[in-house]
Amino acid sequence: MSLTKRLGADGWNICSYFVDRHLAEGRGDRIAIRCGEDRVTYFELATMVNRVANVLTDLGVRRGDRVLLALSDGLEFVATWYGAQKLGAVTAECYTFLAPKDYAYFLSYADPAVVVADSVTIGAIREAVSMAPGPDHRRLVVGMRDGVRDDEEGFEQTVGQAAPEFAPTRVGSDDAAVWKFTTGSTGAPKACVHPARSPFLSFESYARGVLDIGEDDIVLPVPKLFFGYARDLAALYPFGVGASGIVFHDRTTPERIFELIARHQPTILVNVPTMMSAMVAHPDAGNQDLSCLRLCTSAGEALPTEVHRRWDELFGVEVLDGMGSSEAYHIYLSNRPGAGRRGTMGVPVPGYSARIVGEDGVALADGDIGRLEVTGPTMASGYYGDEERSRRSFDGDTVHTEDLCLRDAEGYFSYRGRADDLLKVGGIWVAPAEIEDCLLGHPDVLETAVIGYSKEGLVRPRAYVVARDGSSPELASDLQVFARARLAGHKYPRDIRVVSELPRTANGKLDRAALRVAAEHELAED
């Protein structure tokens, strides 16, 4: 059946499919969201979504307008996202712990009709508005009954008084519906503009085709909902089958995740390598019961083989390591249940294909490292406001990435870093990920990151290391001996710095740019 027939010849609405459909099909009393002690049914969620859609409409939001969410996780986030979708607006989300200058960038770049904020973000957003005055952005503020200004609207008051019915706006499957921001690790975040069909097709391909998500699943996300990887897996894909997602307001820690698993008994844990490393290193990890989980997903960055091994030994929960991007909407490479391989990103998700190409764009043989190209049904139409970069990255339903990968003879893909992360040491290209994987095999290493530094005009690898149980004066030299015994002579790190933590982007990815800046400062001081 064609996509037009499945979604409707006269258009469709994301909210109608993922929320309202359950009321029409008799599943209105099923739990959609678990938040603390609250259990929110699909009927209750649909009612709140309608109220939010009415409030946004009253604030002037129209079909095609952008609504920017700067919200902590909770029912309000989910209801606002679907409320904006129901009236045909375009949703975009940003991190909740940004500086005013960063919010000023998002306000200027996105030019939203309404900004939905809360007590965590509103102060910085108010300052951002004063820093970069521009078009009027109406502000809807969650959780501040007494602190709302005259030029703002209180969420609880207005939503509570709004009508509980709202007719969905049908949009074309090619119409813009979702903005997903790049991480900003290689520059200012850019919005990948996705059409209304992408959420549905990603749900079919990944959630159903790989995870086999069902109505009895309960999904717990480690990252926060502003990160599309988490929002889709906790508050979109489960809703496609009448399952439920867990949302929580506070920051994520290993202790919090262990506590939520014990309380809610989720079946799917949406994870990232940084938190997996912290969970296996936790002093009480051996006493945790994760048997309720049928699987754990990992994405955002490559999962080190050593971390994966420790996870398997401690928890015994199958990990489906995968790879996705804002450009492709969600995951396009993934391991499969019962057929996973440590150290790989798996194989293409149903409906997608991938190949490794050289600088000339010609496909490389299995085992050769090159740039990854991905083709599939959920590619963005481009980067908003950046036609040149869009032409370089997108070609119809294909995206040309800067990710370096290889494919083995069985069709499994392995990540080898970003093209702009490669180091040329002694005239030979070196992937930092290879050195990092080696160092992670040392029992005293919790995390590590490798960049290049210049000495006497020559590039050398430098490793920043977070020690598992605190540093010792001998650790750096011990690690050099360890690495030299396992790596080619030009690859071992000539300089090892033991640090308390590594810089991360808002999405939890390693921020190599910040490390390079720190290295430049260190060089200047030397």
User: What is residue 472's DSSP assignment?
Assistant: -
- Are residues 406 and 448 both part of a single domain? no
Tokens of 523: 């060089």
Task: Determine, yes or no, domain membership for 456.
Answer: yes
Whether residue 37 lies inside any domain: the answer is yes
Residue 239 covered by a domain: no
**Are 295 and 431 in a shared domain?**
no
Q: What is the pLDDT of residue 457?
A: 64
Q: What is the pLDDT of residue 146?
A: 79
- Within a domain: 234: no
Nearest by Cα to 238 from 254, 253, 225: 225
Residues 44 and 125 in one domain: yes
User: Do 41 and 89 sit in the same domain of this protein?
Assistant: yes
| The model's pTM | 0.87
State which H helix or E strand residue 68 sits in.
strand 66-70
Does residue 353 sit in the same domain as residue 444? Answer: no
Domain boundary among 193, 224, 239: 193
Going across the sheet that includes 90-93, the strands are: 152-154, 138-142, 114-118, 66-70, 90-93, 176-181, 191-195
Residue 287: CATH number of its domain: 3.40.50.12780
User: Do 270 and 355 fall within a single domain?
Assistant: yes
276 within 8 A of 303, measured Cβ to Cβ = yes
Number of domains into which the chain is organized: 3
Domain shared by 271 and 149, yes or no: no
- Indicate whether 350 and 429 sit together in one domain: no
pLDDT, residue 456, reads 63
Look at residue 520 in the predicted model and tell me its pLDDT. Answer: 67
Examine residue 240 and state whether it is found in any structural domain, yes or no: no
Asked if 62 and 177 sit in the same domain, the reply is: yes
Report yes or no on 306 lying in a domain: yes
Same domain, 484 and 342: no
Q: What is the CATH number of the domain that holds 468?
A: 3.30.300.30
- Of the three residues 391, 418, 445, the one that is the final residue of a domain is 418
pLDDT truncated to tens, each residue of the chain (526 aa)? 556 666 766 789 999 999 999 999 999 999 999 999 999 999 999 999 999 999 999 999 999 999 999 999 999 999 999 999 999 999 999 999 889 999 999 999 999 999 999 999 999 999 998 886 666 789 999 998 778 888 899 999 999 999 999 999 999 999 999 999 987 555 688 999 999 999 999 999 999 999 999 999 999 999 999 999 999 999 999 999 999 999 999 989 999 999 999 999 999 999 998 899 899 999 999 999 999 999 999 998 889 898 999 999 999 999 999 999 999 999 999 999 999 999 999 999 999 999 999 989 999 999 999 999 999 999 999 999 999 999 999 999 999 998 999 999 999 999 988 877 777 676 667 778 888 888 988 888 888 988 887 766 667 888 999 998 776 778 988 999 998 888 877 788 888 999 988 988 776 778 887 887 776 666 555 5
* Domain-located, residue 210: no
Determine contact, residues 274/502, Cβ cutoff 8 Å: no
Residue 224, pLDDT score: 95
Tokens describing residue 288: 């945790």
Per-residue pLDDT at 8: 67
Last residue of a domain, one of 149, 169, 193: 193
Q: Which domain holds residue 468?
A: 422-525
The answer to whether residue 59 is domain-embedded is yes
Rounded to 10 degrees, what is the CA torsion of 248, 253, 255, 259? 20
**Rounded to an integer, what distance in angstroms lies between the CA atom of residue 208 and that of residue 177?**
22
Which residues have a Cβ under 8 Å from the Cβ of 303 and sit 6 or more positions away?
273, 276, 319, 321
Q: Are residues 44 and 175 in the same domain?
A: yes
Here the CATH number for the domain that contains residue 97 is: 3.40.50.980
Local structure of 241: helix, strand or coil: coil
Mean of per-residue pLDDT scores for the chain = 91
Q: What is the pLDDT of residue 425?
A: 75
Rounded Cα distance between 320 and 299, Å, is 9
Q: Are 291 and 408 in a shared domain?
A: yes
- Round to whole Å and give the CA distance between 240 and 243: 8
Distance CA 518, CA 297 (A): 32
Burial of 71 (0-12, 13-18, 19+ CB in 10 A): buried
